[in-house]
Structure 1
């Protein structure tokens, strides 16, 4: 939507109203209003808003660091540090036997890995072949959104799966 001939403050209000009217319920409208206009320094609610926001950011950072560290410790995996997003993208070198098993099922090797992970642990990752990767390389997208207290359980399940998978298809 383009709004011309008005001050920037009027434009902001028009965009706010347009966004709020796009929500189908009151809760959604309130949430959108808060997202678009968070508390500011000096507002009564600013200290609690800032504390909660900082706590969420810190928790996400801890989850990301733990996941990246784990991925980098596993056989055949490398993972770059998360840089402000909600996902990490570990690369995986799959054993030739895993690639052969995937070919036998007429599926991409990273999809094969992701499906086995899901079936074994309930953990969902998005295979890199779903959104492009260099041919012959494999990776997946993994979100860093689990609650901090659940991260270690998820990491433990993932690590056990990966070690068993690599052992099954090694050599």
Structure 2
């Protein structure tokens, strides 16, 4: 879709509004196709909420150096783990309609919503329930994949894109473009079929499939709660409650000497932290991506067996205390 949307140079070059923080590969992908990144900040203090005023600010600031044509959303949030409310989704759709923005919605963690009282609602569903004023006007591309979430079949790699309100000629061109660029392996297509058309009651594999999915969901929810409780108990760590997705995204308050050391090495402080954790404990986490200046985070995956998570948390806890001591004011 980006190849279809991105065009122009200078002030006419396509701009794409993207959240901060965001998936770590997104900025690289946009730069590769020649898009201008137009960042908007999610409010960490409000549970990573998307605030209307911030989208307006980002859009206004972008005009004059690019032409904003698309708005990227991830719901549930990556890596923040927040789940948008219906009210929030409706406002985003209204904003896109008013500003004539193409919606690019990443919904790969739609099956991973476990926050109390939380429900995943697709942008397409909300769009169609808002009436013809929006349902026949707003252009939308939504994405899902077997490589993420409960299925977690990272080795198979298959997914799909659904287009809404896109011109038929563009649809034909998009399908042609996809056929030349993407060839999903047969095994991946089989797994994708299972995801969108799971075994039904009476099918030989229904009981086993249902039990495996249920076990994964329970484990994910328990792991997210366990990791959150553990992390907020560490000195210098704060974390918003996670309500969806497979990551937990704690904020680190690191000693000034650690920040100075990172800068002298040409790194962000959370990158230094993550690299040191890998070197010392063999635990691989992601550093924060596209975040506010002097704000540091790590991204920890919790879609893992509970016993494995406990080992990871133990290693992380001992490393964290050692790291703080190593770079304390008295070091």
Is 1:149 aligned with 2:307? yes
CA distance in 2, matches of 1:72, 1:37: 39
Is 1:170 aligned with 2:331? no
Is 1:32 aligned with 2:32? no
CA distance in 2, matches of 1:170, 1:113: 14
Is 1:102 aligned with 2:262? yes
Q: Paired residue for 2:296?
A: 138
Q: Which has the higher helix share?
A: 1
CA distance in 1, matches of 2:196, 2:328: 52
1:113 maps to which of 257, 260, 273: 273
The TM-score, its normalising length taken from structure 1, stands at: 0.80
3-state SS, counterpart of residue 66 of structure 1: helix
3-state SS, counterpart of residue 85 of structure 1: coil
Is 1:92 aligned with 2:252? yes
Higher relative contact order, structure no. (Cα contacts within 8 Å, ≥ 6 residues apart): 1
CA distance in 2, matches of 1:22, 1:43: 30
Q: Which has the higher strand share?
A: 2
CA distance in 2, matches of 1:74, 1:167: 13
Unaligned runs of 5+ in 1: 3-17
After superposition, the C-alpha distances for 1:146-166 in whole angstroms (9 at most, x for unaligned) are 221211111100001001001
Superposition deviation, residue 49 in structure 1: 2.1
Residue pairs, 1:27-106, within 5 angstroms: 27-41=187-201, 43-106=203-266
After superposition, the C-alpha distances for 1:59-96 in whole angstroms (9 at most, x for unaligned) are 11121111111110101001122211011110000011
CA distance in 2, matches of 1:45, 1:108: 48
Superposition deviation, residue 28 in structure 1: 2.7
CA distance in 1, matches of 2:183, 2:268: 39
Aligned residues: 152
CA distance in 1, matches of 2:304, 2:281: 15
Unaligned runs of 5+ in 2: 1-161, 164-178
CA distance in 2, matches of 1:22, 1:32: 14
3-state SS, counterpart of residue 257 of structure 2: helix
CA distance in 2, matches of 1:110, 1:89: 12
Superposition deviation, residue 44 in structure 1: 4.8
Q: Which has the larger displacement, 38-47 or 56-65?
A: 38-47
CA distance in 2, matches of 1:35, 1:80: 30
Is 1:23 aligned with 2:184? yes
Give the RMSD, CA atoms, in angstroms. 2.2
Superposition deviation, residue 47 in structure 1: 3.0
Superposition deviation, residue 123 in structure 1: 1.2
